[in-house]
Amino acid sequence: MKNNTAADYKKILIIQTAFAGDVILTLPMVQVLKEDFPDSEISFLCIPNVSNILENNPDISEIILYDKKKKKKGLLNFLRLVKDIQSRNFGLVISPHRSLRSTLISRYSGAKQTISFDTSVLSAKYSSRVVYKKNVHEIIRNLSLLAPLGIIRNEIIVPKIYPSEDDKLKVDNLLTVFKIGQDEKFIALAPGSVWFTKAFPDYKFAKVIGILNDFHYKIVMTGGSEDAGLCSKIKVLSKSRNVYNAAGKLTYLQSAELIRRSAVLLTNDSSPMHLANAVGTKVNAIFGATVPEFGFYPIGKADKIFQTEGLKCRPCAIHGGNRCPIKTFDCMEKINESEVALELVSSVIS
């Protein structure tokens, strides 16, 4: 520690204004912080559409929202946020998020100590900088931000999320509508992705479902409202009567509860994969343009990754993209649907 006392960590701010998966993978750091500073009040700054992930979390005292998409009065909106942060008298700010805005929020927060990665924009503005390690899991990377506080944790810690009783009742009711019994095994499928090159093609998902149809397994597709059309298309292409579309009907925590009750989740390299790890459900993950070495792979011992090895063009982008740069999309096209389906069958049986 840098001449700081426990009083300096009475009020702590975590900044993570990226996607849902990034928020989930920040939670182990929050959990460890609360273990070491049990009397601290931890606030979490995130964007509105992912805040549900943090609800009911006993380690988080307050969720602060920042709507980055508000273009109108964008600067004024940002300045109001900074002023609000200043008024809260945080003693410590930790920012796994590496953007310019996150740096400015930290710099002008008024906190005695601010911590981020050495690769953050204007990283010199932080009082402590931690080396951004490549080829380690994001959970371990985020935990390394605690090193300036004298906290050293190098192991993967499972994120904790907290669906409410109302969330569980919502899932109960949905499964009743789908005529899926309380003890009936089913497969969860999350086909959506923000990025085209991270998404297994719809017709290939449909082929997987078609193969599973011979085993009479029920499949529940999940995702946000933006995924509802995709899920409907996959259902039509599959020609299966055992497929149900829950996309757009559930919050993140409700989706996590749905996934918890499934035998296995089939997903792209996207946030449902991390939700499944948080609730202990086996993951079968499909990686296309991105690679597990980026540090966002599933952490369960029984989890399975499908990917096309040996492509010189892969990875083509750290986050994926809106099109294949060489127009072949071999990273996804060469993944065998039968192998994916049979692994799902094995997961249900085991």
Distance (Å) of CA 158 to CA 6, 47, 269? 26, 22, 17
**Whole-angstrom distance, CA of residue 290 vs CA of residue 273:** 14
The residue with greater pLDDT, 224 or 2, is 224
Query: Which range among 101-105, 179-183, 251-255, 329-333 shows the weakest confidence by mean pLDDT?
Result: 179-183
Q: Which of 146, 104, 144, 148 is nearest to 123 (CA)?
A: 104
Could you give the percent of the chain with pLDDT greater than 90?
92
CATH for the stretch 165-349? 3.40.50.2000
**Whole-angstrom distance, CA of residue 20 vs CA of residue 31:** 17
Domains 6-149 and 165-349 share a fold: yes
CATH for the stretch 6-149? 3.40.50.2000
Q: What is the pLDDT of residue 1?
A: 45
Tokens standing for 215?
A: 């085993």
The DSSP result for 124-189, as a single string, is GGSSEEE---SSS-HHHHHHGGGGGGT----S---------HHHHHHHHHHHHHTT--TT--EEEE
Confidence of residue 71 (pLDDT cuts 50, 70, 90): low
Is the pTM for the entire model greater than 0.85?
Answer: yes
Residue 5 has pLDDT above 80, yes or no: no
**Whole-angstrom distance, CA of residue 310 vs CA of residue 337:** 19
Q: State the chain's mean pLDDT as an integer.
A: 96
| Residue with token string 């919050």 | 251
pLDDT tens profile 151-161: 999 999 999 99
Residue 33 has pLDDT above 80, yes or no: yes
pLDDT tens profile 285-341: 999 999 999 999 999 999 999 999 999 999 998 888 999 999 999 999 999 999 999
Q: What is the pLDDT of residue 68?
A: 84
Q: Where do the domains of the chain lie?
A: 6-149, 165-349
DSSP structure class, residue 28: H
Contact between 227 and 247 under an 8 Å Cβ cutoff? The reply is yes
Angle at 23 between CA 19 and CA 25, to 5 degrees: 115
Q: What is the pLDDT of residue 82?
A: 97
Tokens standing for 302?
A: 């029984």
pLDDT tens profile 237-262: 999 999 999 999 999 999 999 999 99
